[in-house]
Structures are given as structure tokens and as C-alpha cells.
Structure 1
Amino acid sequence: MSAAQLEMPGMPKRLFPATPSKLACFSDCPRRYRFSYVDRPTPAKGPAWAHNSVGAAVHAALRSWYELPIDKRTTAAARQLLYGVWSPVGFRDDEQAARWRARAAAWLTDYVTGLDPTDEPVGTERTVGCTTERLALSGRVDRIDRRGDELVVVDYKTGRVPSTDDDARGSPALAAYVLGVRRTLRRPCSRVELHHLPSGTVASFEHTDRSLANHVRRAEDVAADIGVATAAVEAGEDPDVAFPTAPGRQCSWCDFRPSCPTGQAAAPARETWSFLAEDDAAD
């Protein structure tokens, strides 16, 4: 029975449950969305990526660092936490994984040196949510800081390119987090920050009601397109037609490349360590 059939006359319209990653998945490629959220069992995925291993370890170490007693929040503790969660998955070999572990530990040391260990975040890896006219929107925030009377959304970045203020302004995820923080924690929140550990830089943006409304409108448009595609499949349309591919260079690193002949034909596969910084070979 479809979602539309389950709705009772006179009842409020069912909200679409969404996360920033779910909406971004459909925007990038409807076929990838179908593979991720519609098809069961989920089609086979490709191998894990080294840059994701780096990011996951840094995020986990920072979360655990804030869970330590204040007097234990040291740079040495941060490094040990990173070593404890480090995974060599996706790297070319053990030697490359070891070099990148040392590099990530150096980022973490520099970053933690600039933190006040007595400054308790309002939340780390905190799930927040809100509703709009069409969406039940939720997401998990890396860190929520208290700055005076307001809360600030902090997102850690470990990619090869430093974040910019335009990245902070244009991020649908950060806008969703602001709305979620406001609704979940009932506190003022407008500022979002991207903390890029490799460069030690911080990109930021102060959201307004207008900027948030623009993000909500775009998110609801994507959700509406997902609803149309889903309803078409329920009505008997070919899933490949309802959820078409969006072939391009991104097919080189799509998780579902092994299950998508169109993607395989669109671009050659990349090595799982190819998103690491270009100066890797010089280390």
C-alpha cells in the first residue's frame, strides 16, 4: 500500500522524512538515490575511500576528546584517540596509511591546541530536527557551541581544499542544522562555521530568515521531485525511467558504480586513495 493510500481524508499531509545527505543524494543522481533508499536489498557497493577513513577518524577523535574529563583534554589525548580509531581502509598500502595517520594527528594537535578544554559544547554529534510545510528534516551536527546568548553550528572538514564563506552560506546541511538547533534546543542560532583542520581556517556565515527560507524552499522542491518519482514507480513505471542516472565525472567515485552500467561507461574508476592531497607523494 502506498503512502498516499495510507493518508486518511481530512488528516494533515504526511511529511517527507529527510536528511541533508538524503536530499543531496537525489540532487546529485536520482539513480543513486534509488539504490540507496528505495531498492531492497541495496545493490552492491564499491570499496571504501581513504579520504573518508581520514575524516571519520578525525571526527570520532574530536567527539571522544570532548567526552573526556576537562583535565584529560590534552593534545596527547587527542592523538591517542585518533590512533585508537584509525582505519587503513581505502589506502594504497600500510605505508601510505601510516603517513596519513601522522598527518591527521598533526592537524588534530594544532586544532586542539587552539581550543579551550574548559569550554563545554552544548552538543557533539548531536541529532537535531525540525518540520517545514512538507518536510520532517533532521541531521547530526558535529558540534554546537554556546557563544554568549546564541548557539553556533560547527562542522569539521578534512578535505584537500579549504572551505570558504560561500561554502558555509551555500551548504544545505548547515542551514538544516540551524533550523534543527532552533527547534530542538529552543535557543537562538544563526551562525554556521566550517573548521578546516588541514589549513587551520574557519569559514562562516550568519543566516537570516530569508537565507533559511531559500534553503527550505530548495529542499522542499527536491522532496517533491522524490515524491513524484516514487509515485511513478508505485504506479508501475520502470524504476530506471522514474529514477534516471545523471552521468558525469562523479560516476568515477560513486559508491554504486559496480551496480550501474551507465556510470561505468560514463567515466573511468578512480583509485580509492585518489582524493588525498596531491602532495601525498612528496611526504
Structure 2
Amino acid sequence: MAGMRNVSDAGEALLPGMPKRLLRASPKSLADFSDCPRRYRYANVDRPTPARGPRFAHHTVGTALHKVLSSWWDLPVEKRTPGAARQLLYADWTPAGFRDTEQSDRWRARAAGWLTDYVAGLDPTEEPRARERTVSTMTERMTLSGRVDRIDERGDELVVVDYKTGRSVCTDDEACGSQALALYVLAVRRTMRRPCSRVELHHVPSGTVAAFDHTERSLANHARRAEDIAVDITDATERMAAGEDPDAAFPAVPGTQCGWCDFRPSCPTGQAAVPARETWSFLPEDDAAAG
């Protein structure tokens, strides 16, 4: 398994003298490589993809909220109510990752409360320009694509909206520093042929919005850092294709994150680094105490 590779991402020339293939990347894959090259390899290079670990409860919460905040707009305008959003959540909810049914039910009710408050602040007649939209762009070294939670139309410009469902309230500095959001701006511009500079982090549990208006300079800085990561990925993939040990080309970066990494079951380094986290352990401490 470890010796298999995804040739399309190797950056190789098809024939001597032909240009190299561009790396196929997404904001997530670039972040994965920055955090741990081994994780990137498991997710993007090795085929078949190595076994993944169990689902975590906080991911279940986030996935459910994201799904409802997209499907709610599919309802007729007159049915886009907070109550309808709650019904969608209850219909799609799963207990994956929770300690038991009681904890799952308690969190379903909590998430429904967040959703009710958030949707109550939306104008159901103001249709987003797009939802769960895949956008893409090209740079010198890669083709980049990703899926944006929501794209709003504000006057002549488009706005990238990203839903957040974690325990921490988002800040404007996070919106400014997010490489993913900056890359989405560039991809929205190219895909939808419209001006786009503003990014927003909508923290559903608190109902707060963190925002940043990108300049050409700030976008260029994010793009340059992404290009540097693409160079490193291409170099590692080419070295592995030339015969270097895959674990040497894509070294693991062990740390506390190994306790919840998706690929922990396939990574001896991660298993040795720290104990596995319980799948409900990222829920806020007040819930753990209540249980």
C-alpha cells in the first residue's frame, strides 16, 4: 500500500520535454500537508486510501448543522422558518461519535437551539448566490478547488461565507489569517467572474460574524504561501516516485493531534505518540460534567 501513488499528483512530465502536470490541491489538502505530511499522503497519494478511525461527535454536530443550513434554502420561501430548520436537523441527525443515546439527544436539542436562533436572523427572501458550491482556480504550480459553504451577493460583489460550529467564537483575525478563505476568494473570482474580497466566519452557536475585506496584497501573500506548500508537496511526491521510502518522503509530525487524527489506525507513529481521544471528548466540558 505504502508504495502506491497517485500519478496525477506527482508533477511528472508525460514525455520528455513536456510541461509537468500541475498539482491538484484543495485548501484542506494544503493544510493537511502543513500540519503533517504523512496525513497528506494517506489522504491524497496512497491508493487504496488507508483505513480511517471512528467518527467524532463534534464532527457529527458540525456536519448536521452545515447540511441543514444548505437544505433550508431549498424550501419554498414561505416555509423557510426556524421551526422548519429544527425539523430538518431532527430528520438528519445521527448518534455517531456520542457516548450514548442520552448524550446524543441532549446535543441534538442544543444544536437545534443554535440553529433556531441563527435562522431567525436570516431573511428567507434573500437567496444566497450559491450554496455548497465548488470553485476552482489555477496558479503556476497547481489547480486548486474547494467547496464554499455559502456565497452571498452584496450589491455588485460576492462574499465568501464559512459556517463554524466549534466551541470558540471566531475573530476577525481568524478571518484575515485563514488561507482557505483567501484561496476561496481567488477561486470565486475565477469561477463566477465577479468581484469578491470579503470573507465571513459565521459562528452558529453564538450567532456572531467575524469578517475581513481582503486586499490584492493580502490575497497575494496567501497565494504565495500556498504555492510554497505546493512546491514541497510536489517535491515529496517526486522523491517517493523515484524510490525514496514513502515514510521518509512524507514524514509524520507526531503531537497531541495524533489522538484524534482520521488516519490514526494506519499510523504507528501517531499511535505511539499519544493515547486515542474518546470520540465525544471535544464536546464542551459542561456537557461532560452533565453526563
Does residue 58 (structure 1) correspond to residue 65 (structure 2)? The answer is: yes
Q: How far did residue 48 of structure 1 move?
A: 0.5
Partner of 1:256: 263
Q: How far, CA to CA, are the matches of 1:37 and 1:200 in structure 2?
A: 35
Does residue 4 (structure 1) correspond to residue 12 (structure 2)? The answer is: yes
Give the alignment partner of residue 33 of structure 1, picking from 11, 21, 40: 40
> How big is each residue's C-alpha offset from its partner over 1:216-260, in whole Å with a ceiling of 9 and x where there is no partner?
111111111111111111111111111101011111111111111
SS of 1:203 mapped into structure 2: strand
Does residue 147 (structure 1) correspond to residue 154 (structure 2)? The answer is: yes
Partner of 2:3: none
> How big is each residue's C-alpha offset from its partner over 1:144-193, in whole Å with a ceiling of 9 and x where there is no partner?
11111111111001001111111111111101111111111111110000
Partner of 2:185: 178
Give the alignment partner of residue 213 of structure 1, picking from 211, 215, 220: 220
1:27 is matched by which residue type in structure 2?
S
Q: How far, CA to CA, are the matches of 1:183 and 1:7 in structure 2?
A: 30
Specify whether residues 3 and 20 from structure 1 end up closer, same or farther in structure 2 by C-alpha distance, changes over 3 A only: closer
Partner of 1:279: 286
Does residue 164 (structure 1) correspond to residue 181 (structure 2)? The answer is: no
Q: How far, CA to CA, are the matches of 1:17 and 1:255 in structure 2?
A: 21
Q: How far did residue 261 of structure 1 move?
A: 1.4
Partner of 2:84: 77
SS of 2:12 mapped into structure 1: helix
SS of 2:282 mapped into structure 1: coil
Q: How far, CA to CA, are the matches of 1:7 and 1:71 in structure 2?
A: 59
Partner of 1:195: 202
Q: How far did residue 5 of structure 1 move?
A: 3.5
Q: How far, CA to CA, are the matches of 1:4 and 1:253 in structure 2?
A: 34
Specify whether residues 5 and 181 from structure 1 end up closer, same or farther in structure 2 by C-alpha distance, changes over 3 A only: closer
Give the alignment partner of residue 89 of structure 1, picking from 77, 96, 99: 96
1:139 is matched by which residue type in structure 2?
G
State the identity %. 71
**TM-score normalised per structure 1:** 0.96
SS of 2:159 mapped into structure 1: strand
SS of 1:4 mapped into structure 2: coil
Does residue 116 (structure 1) correspond to residue 128 (structure 2)? The answer is: no
Q: How far did residue 37 of structure 1 move?
A: 1.2
Partner of 1:102: 109
Answer whether contact 1:51 1:276 (CA < 8 A) is retained. yes
Partner of 2:136: 129
Answer whether contact 2:171 2:210 (CA < 8 A) is retained. yes
Q: How far did residue 7 of structure 1 move?
A: 4.8
Answer whether contact 1:129 1:183 (CA < 8 A) is retained. yes
Specify whether residues 248 and 282 from structure 1 end up closer, same or farther in structure 2 by C-alpha distance, changes over 3 A only: closer
> How big is each residue's C-alpha offset from its partner over 1:88-133, in whole Å with a ceiling of 9 and x where there is no partner?
1000001000000000100000000000000010000011111112
Question: Which residues in structure 2 correspond to 1:34-49 (within 5 Å)?
Answer: 34-49=41-56
1:209 is matched by which residue type in structure 2?
E
Answer whether contact 1:124 1:144 (CA < 8 A) is retained. yes
Moved more, 32-41 or 96-105: 32-41
Runs of 4+ in 1 over 3 A off after TM superposition: none
SS of 1:44 mapped into structure 2: coil
Answer whether contact 2:54 2:262 (CA < 8 A) is retained. yes
Gaps of at least 5 residues in structure 1 are: none
**TM-score normalised per structure 2:** 0.94
Cα RMSD (Å): 1.3
Q: How far did residue 12 of structure 1 move?
A: 4.7
Q: How far, CA to CA, are the matches of 1:31 and 1:146 in structure 2?
A: 39
Q: How far did residue 281 of structure 1 move?
A: 3.4
